[in-house]
Structure 1
Amino acid sequence: MTDESSGVMPLSAEDAQRQLRRAVIASTIGTTIEWYDFFLYSIVTGLVFAKLYFPESDPLVGTLQAFLIYAVGFIARPVGAAIFGHYGDRVGRKATLIVTLLTMGLATFAVAFVPTYASIGIWGAVILTVLRFIQGVGVGGEWGGSVLMSMEWARTNSHRGFVASWPQFGVPAGLFIANLAVLAMSEISGSAFLTWGWRVPFFMSIVLVAIGLYIRLNILETPIFAKLLAERKIEKTPMLEVIRRQPKDILYSALARMAEQAPFYIFTAFVFTYGVTNLGVSRNLLLIAVLVASVVEFGTIPFFGHLSDRIGRKRMYMIGAVVVGVFGFLYFAMVDTRNPMWIFAAIVLSLVPHSMLYGPQAAFIAESFTGRLRYSGASLGYQLASVIAGGPAPLIATALFAYYRSGYAIAAYILVCAVVSLFAAWRMGDYTNKDISREYDEAHALPDGGHASRPA
């Protein structure tokens, strides 16, 4: 029997709950795999790539060159958001997510076979750059689909923050597995880590891709997209349409991520360069600290997603931005002591303020866009932050330290990011507990004040 209003075959409460569980598991495991790939590259960048692909450069210059390749992946993310956002709103969430997984996974697998400078000269760095770009394209399309796959299966409006936070859980899970893989291979290979040990975690990613692909092939399309399809409300050019209708929502979504993304990559990627090169800290101490921090986020991300359902997405997010801005100074004060216990504590604690933003962020951004444009709008807004925040962050941090020789200069940069995010979050709408199954530009859609742009 079908729903007369939409032509969509309804599911029983039990079947819908089962699909929600499958969607959450598929999204979470998929994003874990994709972020394992992405973080693996970021960890190895600071530890290996400067030495193997830019051996003739000064150590600091070589690090900057390696992080430039690292930044290419972030520049590619909005490209992936545009490509996969279009197909996610045209073809569906499920099919698009399968392609993003393969794009990311195969590019990461190929990194394991890239020859070094000693073998083919600068062409090794060129190949790495190309693969990094492909990785970024895959991640650019991954986030929006994973969040929508979970959030659009939510049975009630009052739990969307919690449900949408689970794909975000894939970030600390991927960070944990990537750090664990590098730590394990560092121990197993010893002095041969620079020769072949670093390649093994990239090679192993193909197994994870196979698991993720199997899981994603066994889920249904979301009921909201199925309804849009049945009602023939699919846009021909969703990416262009969302830019025309909701440009402010895209901009504010990107700026709101400044306080979340820039500090995160400073705390989890740049810290390896800062700690090992400048402070003489053990590489393994940093790896273990990031491992523990990622485990802490296993609990804090869903907790703050749930809390946003109670106190409101916007309020939770603004509190998080303030905490991040203050914590940057505390972080470098602790790290600069060179005391292993304080360094360990600083890294572990750093991801708690991050969780205050990252937990509610998925629903906060995705809810801002009307259903038929949601994949495109949420993906573009989310991934544009990669160009202005995530990608440049390690580069800016490296440059600030090179000039000022002080971690507090980097903390000041984090504070500026926090202020920008605070303003952007204040300007965004709050759709906590509102119905997002109707199109926002329908006259009856959001009687209590949704602010999505109306047709001209």
Structure 2
Amino acid sequence: MSAPQRPEHSGPITDRERRRVVFAAVVGTTVEWYDFFVYAAAAGLVFGQLFFQPAGEGVATILSFLTVGISFLFRPIGAFLAGHYGDRYGRRVVLMVTLVLMGVATTFVGLLPTYAAIGVAAPVMLIVLRILQGISAGGEWGGAVLMAAEHAPSHKRGVYAAAPQVGVPLGLLLASGVMALMTFVAPGEQFLQWGWRVPFLLSVVLILIGHYIRRRVEESPVFLEIADRKEQTKTPIVELFRHHWKLVIVAALVFSGNSAVGYMTTGGYIQNYATNPDGPVGLDRGPVLWAVAGSAITWLIFTWIGATVSDRIGRRSTYLLGWALLLGALVPLFPLVETANIWLLLLGLVLLTIGLGFTYGPQAALYAELFPASVRFSGVSISYAVGAILGGAFAPMIAAALVRATGSTTAVTAYLVAGVLVSVVATLLLRDRKGIPLGPDHEAEQSVSPIRTTAKV
């Protein structure tokens, strides 16, 4: 199998460099998503009480989840900016900027005064900082994916490109674990007073570690080859939407189902539903957070398995298997949660992670193989950001509103099933391009539409 090459004067890529890229991708995205998910966990557990309490119990919860969703509306801005500069100036510099931006925003959330201290200015500042997190997340994923995918040998692209994907469940594991630890260190009212702030302030240390590791990684060989030929696209986003706008929509819909289901935990909804003292479950915060952390481990495992399987049977077939597993897990999810038995709640979350892993592990390689080299950063980043908006952005808020309106989680299950079925259709529309060369020499081949119903995009 062919492996990516840098410009002739740079020499071939070594296995040591590939391992360094994979390690940096895992660490960097873990730090980014830790920051992103620790906010979502806090939104489900404390932000309603601390920043939106005057709105009343139920409405405060919905407003808290709304701040989680608002950030998704700004992820396309991060994706547009990162795509433009990443396709013009390289993947590495964008990754450094997004890491720092996310860390600064997260740290300042931990320092915010509450509504009781400064009134309406508190939720306004909270929303501004969440928007900055959204911009950072919108630019982060595409760069990390391409650094991993474009360094990989073609026959192992799924496994290499899954490095940033693994960072997502690792980020959830870290965020849930730290939050759970703080419920032990600062129980009850102490958690509301100061315990929830500690996970945000820890971001400073994590950002320093991630920044150091990313500085030691070489630029993507595909971009170096494009730059060596002076073939960077001056307006990559314009070119992307001029020639590939249908592909952006289909790729976004492929991700939307996974995003909607995944944000039941990463968006804090399950945590809120299971710990609400006035709800049907009423579990303590600590055990629920540990259960979410445990499910993050199985999500990580099945993400890696899904990526490995996709290198063998193709991205599309792996996705279809994953969608079937996800649909099967959605039916018993809320009945298991509503038993108020922490072990059955954990079982429901673990079952969910099998399908989530099989529909998340192959995503990085799938996206990298869909778009031509000259607009790949823009295409990958924008498709991911739009898919996140269509799927996960307001999923926790929608779930909370559905339960408030119907008094049951049956409508939430129906909503999630519908989202997955949309993604199934989008997956069926794509041709599998496993192993397609990613370098600029193959731009013509890459530009042929992978959408099955058209000859050109």
Superposed pair shares fold, TM > 0.5? yes
The 1:446–1:251 alpha-carbon spacing in structure 2 relative to 1, beyond 3 Å, is closer
Matched AA of 1:11: G
Secondary structure of the residue aligned to 2:194 is: coil
Match of 2:356 in 1: 354
Matched AA of 1:79: I
Secondary structure of the residue aligned to 1:280 is: coil
Unaligned runs of 5+ in 2: none
CA contact (8 A) 1:238 1:376 kept: yes
Name the CA distance, whole Å, in 1 between partners of 2:6 and 2:413. Answer: 52
Name the CA distance, whole Å, in 2 between partners of 1:132 and 1:83. Answer: 18
Name the CA distance, whole Å, in 2 between partners of 1:202 and 1:307. Answer: 36
Match of 2:398 in 1: 396
Matches within 5 A, 1:3-22: 7-12=7-12, 16-22=14-20
Structure 1 position 450, deviation (Å): 5.4
Structure 1 position 6, deviation (Å): 8.3
Name the CA distance, whole Å, in 2 between partners of 1:438 and 1:402. Answer: 52
Secondary structure of the residue aligned to 1:390 is: coil
Name the CA distance, whole Å, in 1 between partners of 2:450 and 2:50. Answer: 52
Match of 1:251 in 2: 249
Structure 1 position 338, deviation (Å): 2.3
Secondary structure of the residue aligned to 2:361 is: helix
Residue 174 of structure 2 is aligned to residue 177 of structure 1: yes
Q: Which moved more, 1:281-290 or 1:170-179?
A: 281-290
CA contact (8 A) 2:319 2:358 kept: yes
Match of 2:289 in 1: 287
1:127-165 CA-to-partner distances (Å, cap 9, x unmatched) read: 0000000010001000000000011001x2111111111
Matches within 5 A, 1:185-204: 185-190=182-187, 191-204=189-202
Q: In the alignment, which of 320, 323, 327 is matched to residue 321 of structure 1?
A: 323
Match of 2:311 in 1: 309
1:43-85 CA-to-partner distances (Å, cap 9, x unmatched) read: 0001110000112222110001111111111111111000111
Q: In the alignment, which of 66, 71, 77 is matched to residue 79 of structure 1?
A: 77
Structure 1 position 386, deviation (Å): 2.1
TM-score, with length taken from structure 2: 0.94
Matched AA of 2:9: M
Match of 2:263 in 1: 265
Structure 1 position 372, deviation (Å): 1.2
Structure 1 position 334, deviation (Å): 1.4
Structure 1 position 322, deviation (Å): 2.4
Residue 367 of structure 2 is aligned to residue 365 of structure 1: yes
Name the CA distance, whole Å, in 2 between partners of 1:351 and 1:140. Answer: 23
Secondary structure of the residue aligned to 2:370 is: coil
Structure 1 position 88, deviation (Å): 0.6
Matched AA of 1:64: I
CA contact (8 A) 2:84 2:236 kept: yes
Matched AA of 1:340: I
CA contact (8 A) 1:52 1:117 kept: yes
Matches within 5 A, 1:55-454: 55-154=53-152, 156-190=153-187, 191-268=189-266, 269-277=268-276, 278=279, 279-438=281-440, 441-442=443-444, 445=445
CA contact (8 A) 1:401 1:410 kept: yes
Name the CA distance, whole Å, in 1 between partners of 2:288 and 2:69. Answer: 22
Name the CA distance, whole Å, in 2 between partners of 1:187 and 1:86. Answer: 45
Name the CA distance, whole Å, in 2 between partners of 1:333 and 1:50. Answer: 25
Name the CA distance, whole Å, in 2 between partners of 1:320 and 1:448. Answer: 27
Q: Which moved more, 1:292-301 or 1:352-361?
A: 292-301
Name the CA distance, whole Å, in 2 between partners of 1:401 and 1:297. Answer: 26
Name the CA distance, whole Å, in 1 between partners of 2:446 and 2:35. Answer: 40
CA contact (8 A) 2:159 2:307 kept: yes
Structure 1 position 451, deviation (Å): 5.9
Structure 1 position 10, deviation (Å): 4.0
Name the CA distance, whole Å, in 1 between partners of 2:77 and 2:449. Answer: 32
Secondary structure of the residue aligned to 1:107 is: helix
Name the CA distance, whole Å, in 1 between partners of 2:219 and 2:61. Answer: 44
Secondary structure of the residue aligned to 2:359 is: helix
Structure 1 position 274, deviation (Å): 1.2
1:183-229 CA-to-partner distances (Å, cap 9, x unmatched) read: 11111112311111111111110110001111111111111110111
Structure 1 position 266, deviation (Å): 1.2
The 1:451–1:371 alpha-carbon spacing in structure 2 relative to 1, beyond 3 Å, is farther
Secondary structure of the residue aligned to 2:31 is: helix
Percent identity, please. 36
The 1:291–1:182 alpha-carbon spacing in structure 2 relative to 1, beyond 3 Å, is same
TM-score, with length taken from structure 1: 0.94
Secondary structure of the residue aligned to 2:195 is: coil
The 1:335–1:62 alpha-carbon spacing in structure 2 relative to 1, beyond 3 Å, is same
Matched AA of 2:156: H
Name the CA distance, whole Å, in 2 between partners of 1:161 and 1:262. Answer: 23
CA contact (8 A) 1:256 1:421 kept: yes
Give the CA RMSD over aligned residues: 2.0
Name the CA distance, whole Å, in 1 between partners of 2:303 and 2:269. Answer: 22
Structure 1 position 392, deviation (Å): 1.1
Match of 2:41 in 1: 43
CA contact (8 A) 1:289 1:348 kept: no
CA contact (8 A) 1:441 1:454 kept: no
1:320-352 CA-to-partner distances (Å, cap 9, x unmatched) read: 122222321111121222233211211222211
Unaligned runs of 5+ in 1: none
1:386-418 CA-to-partner distances (Å, cap 9, x unmatched) read: 221111100111111112222221111111011
1:418-454 CA-to-partner distances (Å, cap 9, x unmatched) read: 1100011111232102222246552xx3699856999
